[in-house]
Amino acid sequence: MDLILKNGILVTSEEMYQADIGISGEKIAAIGTDLQDNTSKIIDVTGKFILPGAIDAHTHMALAFGGTVSSDGYLSGTKAAACGGVTTIIDYAMQRSGKGIMETIEERKSIAQAEVCVDYGFHCIITDLNNDAILDEFESAVQAGITSFKCFFVYKKEKMMVDDGTFLKVLLEADKVGAIVNIHAENSDAIDLNIERLLRNGKTSAWYHYVSRPECVESEAVKRAVHWAVSFNKPLYIVHMADKEGIEAVTLAKDSGYRIYAETCPQYLEFTCDVYKREDGRNFVCSPPMKGKDSKIALWDALKRGDIDTIATDHCPFYKEQKDWGINDFTKIPNGCGGIEFLYPYILNAANAGVISFSKAVEVCSFNPAKIFGCHEKGSLSIGKDADIVVYDPDKDYTVSAKHMHSKCDHTIWEGKSFHGFPVLTFVRGKLVYDNGKFMGVPGFGKFIKRKAKKTQVTSV
């Protein structure tokens, strides 16, 4: 073996126990008590926890959006990932009218590969079916490891929204080839109507971002998406859920045995819409917006009872200067917030405080995203899996400051947030990429993850 981490407490999605873990090359080679090997480097991790690396299944590195580009590209975004214990990202590649899926993916890959410091995969956002030609590409996309497609029910003016008919075609075709559909569920027409009325009445501050996209805007779209997935009995993954009624619809469908998966993000668990009343409210502008206190409580409850399957970041930061475009008009604020460096610390901090278990944190940040999105080599501490490992010090105190982030962004919504417990080592496929505050990785080391589809169904609907 090349390395043994000794005397740690292993955390899996099911249990915690004291053990050593041995790494050989890129893989976990042994787990046991008192592992010995003369050739091994040994790190004593007594008192520390050993976790599978987090998989952030929702990122937008260098996203062209809102007339600009998000501030973290694949280099700074994955540096930040490594320093927070994220060992794999699944980024969104956006197919546009006239473009093919593989063309879109290859284009993104050619930007990402030289820069990525952790492993990566892509979901493909479908914005236009190119007269249904795109549907014929689903099978080859799956063969190439793209096993998830996303639709937006929003962003009509940006030409990213799909109508219900297109969504249904994507839902049905994806299932045929064993892929899953992700949906951003907000009602675009209701938002546009609200925006028009608000601007006409001079309501332009960041608070009106929330007022234009209140709870009902999200719940209608979630219920619509769930309705279609349930009616056709197809799996569906709802991204960045922020609303109580939406999550109740998910619970109902899950309880009836349907394969509806829910993702939320740390920002929806931490903040409420009150942040938009702050002087720097525009820095919190993302879509969907943070909702009222009832939604925040409902999300925590759903997480605890197992109705939230994954926690991801929707990492999409913009510089202060970009956010400032909307000082006098909330519709000009680029939508998105960063947070990849604080995903695992945030959830593990909740575990450390006894709000959820450490196994639940591993389940939603690593095990479930690996399972849902077909990252078969990842997501658990077991022999033969990739040695994507985080060593977490439950006693290390850390207070967030943009000055010390590895993201390129010049501010963070997490400024001043204190964590009791923080990752101290991150390994990606056995390679140390983060050591106690210091990035140790190499750009281009990250490997494209050819994800596996659930099944390949040949019957047509």
- Contact between 153 and 186 (Cβ < 8 Å): yes
| H or E element that contains 172 | helix 164-176
Picked from Zn ion, ligand URP, none, the partner binding residue 254 (CB below 5 to 8 A depending on kind) is: none
Only segment of 205-213, 246-254, 270-278, 312-320 that touches Zn ion (CB under 5 A)? 312-320
Quick one: 85 or 336, whose CB is closer to ligand URP?
A: 336
Quick one: 108 or 184, whose CB is closer to ligand URP?
A: 184
Quick one: 226 or 265, whose CB is closer to ligand URP?
A: 265
CA distances from 423 to 1, 19, 316, 389, 420 (A): 23, 18, 22, 10, 11
Quick one: 333 or 390, whose CB is closer to ligand URP?
A: 333
Kindly state the smallest distance separating residue 106's Cβ from ligand URP, in Å. Answer: 22
Using Cβ positions, the residue closest to Zn ion within the complex turns out to be: 184
Quick one: 183 or 362, whose CB is closer to ligand URP?
A: 183
Chosen residue from 12, 205, 295, 335 binding ligand URP by CB under 6 A = 335
The site map against ligand URP for 230-259 (x = CB under 6 A) is ------------------------------
| H or E element that contains 344 | helix 343-352
Q: How many C-beta atoms surround the C-beta of residue 167 within 10 A?
A: 22
Only segment of 130-138, 160-168, 210-218, 313-321 that touches Zn ion (CB under 5 A)? 313-321
Residue 216 identity: C
Note whether 287 binds ligand URP by CB under 6 A.
Answer: yes
Q: Give the burial class of 332: count Cβ atoms within 10 A of its Cβ; 0-12 exposed, 13-18 middle, 19 or more buried.
A: middle
CA distances from 160 to 95, 303, 331 (A): 9, 30, 16
Q: How many C-beta atoms surround the C-beta of residue 17 within 10 A?
A: 11
Residue 25 exposure: Cα atoms within 13 Å on the Cβ side: 4
Strands (E), 365-414: 389-399
**Distance from C-alpha of 205 to C-alpha of 302, rounded to nearest angstrom:** 32
Kindly state the smallest distance separating residue 320's Cβ from ligand URP, in Å. Answer: 16
Chosen residue from 48, 123, 176, 184 binding ligand URP by CB under 6 A = 184
Chosen residue from 137, 307, 309, 314 binding Zn ion by CB under 5 A = 314
Quick one: 184 or 454, whose CB is closer to ligand URP?
A: 184
Q: Give the burial class of 255: count Cβ atoms within 10 A of its Cβ; 0-12 exposed, 13-18 middle, 19 or more buried.
A: exposed
Kindly state the smallest distance separating residue 452's Cβ from ligand URP, in Å. Answer: 25
Residue with tokens 């790494």: 23
Which string of DSSP letters, residue by residue, matches 79-143?
HHHHHTTEEEEEEEEE--TT--HHHHHHHHHHHHTTT-SSEEEEEEE----TTTGGGGGHHHHHH
Note whether 286 binds ligand URP by CB under 6 A.
Answer: yes
Positions in 313-332 near ligand URP (CB under 6 A): 314, 316
Kindly state the smallest distance separating residue 316's Cβ from ligand URP, in Å. Answer: 4
Chosen residue from 48, 150, 184, 447 binding Zn ion by CB under 5 A = 184
Instruction: Please report, as ranges, the residues that interact with Zn ion according to CB under 5 A.
Output: 184, 314
What are the residues binding ligand URP (CB under 6 A)? 60, 184, 286-287, 314, 316, 335-336
